[in-house]
């Protein structure tokens, strides 16, 4: 009985390896940007001070839509002196990714003048279903000490069967100020090299052979 169970487990592992890429079995919120191992990062540096663009607006292959139809983009804030922002309180920025991602996230903050802020990010799959939500909130002392705002990471990890295709970030705090976003980080699926499945298949077959021989010798 134990041998049969072990054989089933070995076959299951071999099947996952032969599919061509490693499968993520669990989806959930990502709390740290360092959990993305090889991301592509979209910064929002702009050569001019501030741009006001009508949406839909494309930045780096991703499409941005806001509740007001206008997006602020420029050097008014940000972790690297650049960010994007809505023009309304309790507004949203909806980002459709150019390529679906296995992991994605963005840094968010309230405006420099906001003492309290809460920001939510909803992550949607390719078929439009909600995969999950990430939320951050903070009490900022930046207005009291004339400091830049503190950014928090909103991230999510999907599965290979339900990739992230869209992110809607919403200003959930009624504080009289709009939110700011910076450094969109996206990580796509990295296929395993063609030789790896073959090697792992041979290892699996070797284990099967060993188990059968051991059973026959008993």
Task: Identify whether 3 is part of a domain.
Answer: no
Task: Identify whether 192 is part of a domain.
Answer: no
Task: Identify whether 8 is part of a domain.
Answer: no
Contact of 190 with 160, CB cutoff 8 Å: no
**Dihedrals φ, ψ of 188, to 5°?**
-90, 170
- What is the CATH number for 133? 2.60.120.260
Give the tokens for residue 101.
């991602």
**Dihedrals φ, ψ of 184, to 5°?**
-70, 125
Spatial CA neighbour of 78 closest among 48, 103, 112, 30: 112
Q: Please state, in angstroms and rounded to a whole number, the distance separating the CA atoms of residues 55 and 124.
A: 20
Task: Identify whether 110 is part of a domain.
Answer: yes
What is the pLDDT at residue 21? Answer: 44
Give the domain range for residue 156.
24-187
- Say if pTM beats, i.e. exceeds, 0.85: no
Task: Identify whether 138 is part of a domain.
Answer: yes
pLDDT along the chain (218 residues), means of 10: 53 47 62 86 75 89 94 68 82 94 90 72 94 81 58 89 93 79 86 51 60 56
Q: Report the domain count for the chain.
A: 1
- 21-64 per-position pLDDT tens digit: 444 555 788 878 888 888 999 988 765 667 788 999 999 999 99
Which three-class secondary structure state does DSSP give residue 81?
coil
Task: Identify whether 215 is part of a domain.
Answer: no
Task: Identify whether 47 is part of a domain.
Answer: yes
Task: Identify whether 203 is part of a domain.
Answer: no
């Amino acid at each position: 009985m134990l041998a049969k169970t072990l054989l089933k487990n070995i076959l299951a592992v071999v099947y996952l390896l032969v599919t061509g890429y490693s499968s993520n079995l669990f989806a959930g919120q990502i709390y740290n940007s360092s959990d993305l191992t090889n991301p592509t990062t979209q910064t929002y540096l702009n050569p001019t001070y501030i741009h006001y663009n009508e949406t839909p607006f494309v930045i780096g292959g991703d499409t941005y839509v806001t509740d007001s139809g206008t997006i602020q983009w420029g050097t008014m804030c940000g972790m690297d002196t650049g960010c994007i922002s809505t023009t309304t309180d309790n507004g949203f920025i909806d980002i459709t990714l150019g390529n679906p991602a296995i992991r994605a996230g963005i840094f968010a903050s309230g405006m420099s003048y906001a003492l309290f802020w809460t920001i939510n990010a909803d992550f949607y799959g390719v078929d439009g279903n909600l995969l999950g939500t990430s939320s951050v909130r903070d009490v900022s002392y930046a207005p009291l000490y004339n400091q830049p705002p503190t950014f928090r990471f909103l991230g999510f990890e999907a599965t290979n069967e339900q990739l992230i295709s869209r992110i809607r970030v919403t200003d959930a705090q009624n504080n009289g100020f709009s939110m700011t976003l910076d450094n969109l980080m996206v990580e796509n699926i990295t296929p395993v090299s063609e030789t790896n499945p073959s090697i792992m298949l041979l290892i699996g077959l070797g284990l099967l052979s060993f188990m059968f021989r051991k059973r026959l010798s008993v």
